[in-house]
Structure 1
Amino acid sequence: MTTEQNNQEVLDVFGKHRDLASLPVTENDTPIGLINRAIFMSQMSKPYHRELYNRKSCIAFMDKEPLVVDAAMSIEALTFKAVEYGEKALADGFIIARDGRFLGIGHGLQLMRVVADMQAEKNRQIMHSIDYASTIQRSMLRPSREALARTLGDAGLVWEPRDVVGGDFYHFAAFEDGWFAALADCTGHGVPGAFLTLISSSILIQAIEQRGPRDPAALLMAVNRGIKQMLGQLDGDDETPGSNDGMDAAFFWFDNASRQLVFAGAKSALFVLQPGEAEGEIVDGERMGVGYVDTNLDFAWQNRLVQTQPDSVVFVTTDGLIDQIGGPKEIAFGKRRIREAIRGSRHASAAQINDAILDQYRAWQGHHRRRDDLTFFCFRVQ
């Protein structure tokens, strides 16, 4: 409509176009207002209003401060502008201009559809990238899983990232006189956690090549230094402050001849159930994470020696299992339930013990969202 047109003409247009929510008003091709159908019809239905306003200019019931946007504005900028302008812009619509001259009108529903389509496409691209990242992460872990299957006759490993990719990783390597294994829980989960697993596992593999696999505590120290250097966490490095990230981990070496297990833990523990024992033993590591800002560069973890016997059951997990909230009181799963599940399945295979723990975990979780990645490892000494 133009300022020369009257309210009777507006009424005729609304009557002819039943789906029209609003009408823009221009003066010399410059947008100056917007007539909302519902407001206009409500005003014109009042007693004597048609007689008073029919022949008057259509600006009588016009919103004089509509949202006017330039046609060159991006959809993202338009969305923020519409939200900032308030509910009126989404309900009544907005005027589109080019160089200050009227071009057209947009509606909130149209804008929402376009934004939804754009978001869906972005999400599709992101998920495609994450799915491929999952393929890379699983490929990185595959050699360890295959080496584990070849080396140990009775062992089971569960690795379930909370999201498509995860912040937990494991490493297994066999040698002539024994084997080395590691379970680690890096900061976060999803994509950030997965990035950190690539860094940490690469540092671990390099440390094993340089130092050998038989001193888990020394390997934890080497990985700690490597992560702190990689993430810029060194003392005095004020120009490039690093992230406060790292990992909790359990490293252990098993000697085939003596059946001795050498364990070093960073905020991780080992559960050992020896033949004939009723309760089993929890072997705690140090309460210091690897690679965090608060962890000293030269912090020394300690090796714990565990003399196992044939038929001993050894179990280790990241905190995703222990910390899961659930049950009738909505509390953490905890170590006690893990111990009970292991004792209750002590004569089963390692894989069956894992299955029993996993069943209890899922029942405990119930309707609660999984809090973290889930990784645990069980083996029976032969």
Structure 2
Amino acid sequence: MQSLRTLTLIFLIGIIVCGCAPHRKIEKPVPQSGTLDLRGFDLGLVPYLMLEGEWSFYPEGLYSPAELSIQKSTLLEVPQPWNTLEGLVREGSSTYSLRLLLDESQLGTPLVLKMRTVYLAYSLFLDGEKVVQVGDPSRSSFTPLVKPNLIEFTPTSTEVEVVVQVSNYRFFKGGIVETPQLGLATVMHSQYEKNVGIEVILVGSLLMVGIYHFIIFLLLNSNRSALFFSLICIVLAGRFAYTGEHYFNQVFPNLSAWITLRIEYGSLYIGPYLILLFFNSLYPQELPRWILKVMIVPTILLGLVLLVPNSHWFSILLPLGQLVMLLSGLTVIAYTLPMAIYRKRKSAWLFTIAFLCLFGTAINDFLYVVNVVDTGFIILYGMLLFTFVQAVALAVRFGFTFQQLNILRLDLEEKVEKRTKDITLRNQELEQQKEELTAQTEEMTANLEYARRIQEASLDSVDYIQSLFPEAFVLYFPRDYVSGDFYWFGEQEGKKVVIGGDCTGHGVPGAFMTALGQAALDHIILGEGVIDPGEILSRLEERVKASMQTQVDGKWLPDGMDIGVLVFDEEAGSLAFEGAKIDLVFIRNHEITRVRGSKFPIGRSTGYGHKTFKTSYHKFKKGDRFYVYSDGYRDQFGGPEGRKFNAKPFRELLEQTAGGSLASQYRELSQSFEDWKGSHPQTDDILVLGLEV
């Protein structure tokens, strides 16, 4: 990693040094007072001239070259929208004119005039003859189209008149907004082909990288960073395809300006939020969650406005898109990445360098769009570096994973070898009863520890639970190595299922019952697709009876479980609940409510005859908190008098600690339990599930 960092820094320093190398300055002619004087200038000295300067401007009309002499003109700095002039609106038609003055020696040399971005349609005349039309600028049949054009001509006189008729309707700026270029035909065509080749290669590379990361996401669906990065690549590939040389306008000539403009601006409106999601998946502890909640509102608004037929609306919201990009970028640069570096997160310094480059090129593109700078679209190169860093980070991540696997393999081989030696040594010492008993005890402890790991592995991970409920906690304290309490989280038919159970006993017998309960729930919910809490409990009762052969020699075995089932339908805003001797507690606006479950347990005899379980339905609101718990907490002995904690004080404790976040409530419940228990042994397994919707 250190050598890779050094190579990257050397590479960046090399770029800076090369960029700062001195260049021979050539005095280039510029348009002045509507005239570009090329006399005495050798066009072969430069790749092209930027026709940036004063053009003659005839507002509010499409005038033919013959009509210009009788029209009143002014001077307009090109490039810039004509609505920057006082008294002109963005919509309408205007005419530009530029007179080229040449030497006799320059006649007969093929030249190319490159018209770049002109909003939104235009016709171009050379010496009074129309040579190209992009879209249709006439008011009656106005058709917008944005694409560069190379106009080749061979001057036959020492004065060439360039006239451009431009129309714009329904867009927030009109006119020649990107500097035209003039150069030798061979040089200009070569430069164009080079630019197109680079763009095609880079767009194709971004698409392949995006598809590659999307496949990684499909194979490893827990890797959300791969999904968001693939979307970033695909969205920006679409933008790059329809900016710069607009080569894909030639590949798909029938694609309207309505679509191409939305591809261009849509990437700027949606891209920043995708980048926030990407960094949130990489560094969830470092990216503030509030920025995601704040930025989703303008992002959705901008996305919806893109669908409005009139381009006027999405174009005038550009400042809002700029603000979203600026705030998103500054959050990542000023807080997320520095915190990731400080906490020594993987590849944080690499992403910092790459994102600074990407953010800088994005700012450049925005300034270019509003005509503050004339550097062209360069975000493609920032994205290229960002893609390279993501590829490096992915390789580092895979390399680290393989390294960890190798370490685990070597450790396992070492443990196997050590265990073999221990067994051999024990076989030699079996004659002594004490040593035999010690070996058996150690083996039993190891098995219990292994059983504990197996049981923990069978329970859902915190990451999975928080993917269903971002605000949730699981207070889970087994009394022994293994527990008779268990929990089950899942999702079926778009509904989220939460289950907490308390099996008969604790330790190994209780653990066997939890395994039976978990397997039965997997079959009932995931296999049979049952999501009604009452029906789940009824079928669980049948399976437990069938599995345990509950009645033997006319006597009912006391094995079974208490269990609570919650099914959340977020779309409908409703909760379905039923419990088998377990109640539901929920807190809304600091007020606690208890929903009683059935009086019947699962499995063991109750003396109440036929068991029935009936689902109850409840509406919930955002911010409601729900709790399901076993009887372990309330039955714990402790305090100064060594008595039980009891159910009512426990509900009061839930209400008292609900003022803060669920994370703080988890800490307070844990600390309260330890304080109450003191030196007393733990009475039973502890399970408390808390979640917020």
Which of 121, 128, 135 aligns to 2:453? It is: 135
Quick check: 1:351–1:378 contact (8 Å CA) kept in 2?
no
Quick check: 1:273–1:312 contact (8 Å CA) kept in 2?
yes
State the distance in 1 between where 2:607 and 2:534 align: 15
Cα offsets for 1:329-350 (capped at 9, x unmatched): 2222122333333222323122
Q: 2:657 matched to 1:345?
A: yes
Q: Which residue of 2 aligns with 1:118?
A: 436
State the distance in 2 between where 1:293 and 1:339 align: 28
Q: 2:515 matched to 1:203?
A: no
More moved, 247-256 vs 203-212:
203-212
Paired residues in the alignment total 263
Q: Which residue of 2 aligns with 1:364?
A: 676
Cα offsets for 1:138-179 (capped at 9, x unmatched): 111135x44312111111112221111111111000245320
Q: Which residue of 1 aligns with 2:562?
A: 248
Q: 2:645 matched to 1:333?
A: yes
Q: Which residue of 2 aligns with 1:312?
A: 624
Report the 3-state secondary structure (helix = DSSP H, G, I; strand = E; otherwise coil) of the residue aligned with 2:496: strand
Structure-2 change in CA distance of 1:367 and 1:290 (3 Å): same
Once the two structures are TM-superposed, the CA of residue 114 in structure 1 deviates from its matched residue by 4.5
* Ranges in structure 1 where 5+ consecutive residues have no aligned partner: 1-112
Quick check: 1:155–1:349 contact (8 Å CA) kept in 2?
no
State the distance in 1 between where 2:654 and 2:504 align: 28
Cα offsets for 1:2-51 (capped at 9, x unmatched): xxxxxxxxxxxxxxxxxxxxxxxxxxxxxxxxxxxxxxxxxxxxxxxxxx
Q: Which residue of 1 aligns with 2:499?
A: 182
Which of 478, 490, 498 aligns to 1:161? It is: 478
Quick check: 1:261–1:308 contact (8 Å CA) kept in 2?
yes
Report the 3-state secondary structure (helix = DSSP H, G, I; strand = E; otherwise coil) of the residue aligned with 2:648: helix
Q: Which residue of 1 aligns with 2:534?
A: 217
Letter in 1 for 2:558: N
Which residues in structure 2 correspond to 1:52-63 (within 5 Å)?
none
Q: Which residue of 1 aligns with 2:603?
A: 291
State the distance in 2 between where 1:136 and 1:254 align: 29
Q: Which has the higher contact order (CA 8 A, sep 6+)?
A: 1
**Structure richer in helix, relative to its length:** 2
Quick check: 1:147–1:174 contact (8 Å CA) kept in 2?
no
Report the 3-state secondary structure (helix = DSSP H, G, I; strand = E; otherwise coil) of the residue aligned with 1:253: strand
Letter in 2 for 1:304: S
Report the 3-state secondary structure (helix = DSSP H, G, I; strand = E; otherwise coil) of the residue aligned with 2:613: coil
Quick check: 1:333–1:361 contact (8 Å CA) kept in 2?
no
Quick check: 1:268–1:284 contact (8 Å CA) kept in 2?
yes
State the distance in 2 between where 1:212 and 1:297 align: 28
Report the 3-state secondary structure (helix = DSSP H, G, I; strand = E; otherwise coil) of the residue aligned with 1:364: helix
Q: Which residue of 1 aligns with 2:575?
A: 261
State the distance in 2 between where 1:253 and 1:329 align: 40
Q: 2:323 matched to 1:323?
A: no
Report the 3-state secondary structure (helix = DSSP H, G, I; strand = E; otherwise coil) of the residue aligned with 1:183: strand
Report the 3-state secondary structure (helix = DSSP H, G, I; strand = E; otherwise coil) of the residue aligned with 1:129: helix
Letter in 2 for 1:250: G
State the distance in 2 between where 1:220 and 1:211 align: 13
Letter in 2 for 1:246: G
**Structure richer in strand, relative to its length:** 1
Once the two structures are TM-superposed, the CA of residue 315 in structure 1 deviates from its matched residue by 1.2
State the distance in 1 between where 2:586 and 2:526 align: 28
Q: Which residue of 2 aligns with 1:60?
A: none
Quick check: 2:588–2:625 contact (8 Å CA) kept in 1?
yes
State the distance in 2 between where 1:179 and 1:378 align: 14
Q: Find the structure with the greater CA-based Rg.
A: 2
State the distance in 2 between where 1:171 and 1:186 align: 13
More moved, 117-126 vs 244-253:
117-126
State the distance in 2 between where 1:182 and 1:351 align: 20
Quick check: 2:492–2:525 contact (8 Å CA) kept in 1?
no
Letter in 2 for 1:322: R
Structure-2 change in CA distance of 1:273 and 1:332 (3 Å): same
* Ranges in structure 2 where 5+ consecutive residues have no aligned partner: 1-430
Structure-2 change in CA distance of 1:176 and 1:215 (3 Å): closer
Structure-2 change in CA distance of 1:285 and 1:253 (3 Å): same
Quick check: 1:271–1:283 contact (8 Å CA) kept in 2?
yes
Letter in 2 for 1:255: D
Quick check: 2:556–2:604 contact (8 Å CA) kept in 1?
no
State the distance in 2 between where 1:141 and 1:198 align: 10
State the distance in 2 between where 1:351 and 1:297 align: 43
State the distance in 2 between where 1:195 and 1:216 align: 23
State the distance in 2 between where 1:310 and 1:142 align: 24
Q: Normalising by structure 1, what TM-score?
A: 0.64
Letter in 1 for 2:639: G
Q: Normalising by structure 2, what TM-score?
A: 0.36
State the distance in 1 between where 2:569 and 2:506 align: 33
Q: Which residue of 2 aligns with 1:147?
A: 464
Quick check: 2:492–2:526 contact (8 Å CA) kept in 1?
no
State the distance in 2 between where 1:128 and 1:219 align: 36
RMSD: 2.2
State the distance in 2 between where 1:287 and 1:369 align: 29
% identical aligned pairs? 27
Letter in 1 for 2:581: K
Once the two structures are TM-superposed, the CA of residue 210 in structure 1 deviates from its matched residue by 4.7
Q: Which residue of 2 aligns with 1:192?
A: 509
Report the 3-state secondary structure (helix = DSSP H, G, I; strand = E; otherwise coil) of the residue aligned with 2:602: coil
Quick check: 2:460–2:489 contact (8 Å CA) kept in 1?
no
Cα offsets for 1:175-202 (capped at 9, x unmatched): 4532001110111111111111111110
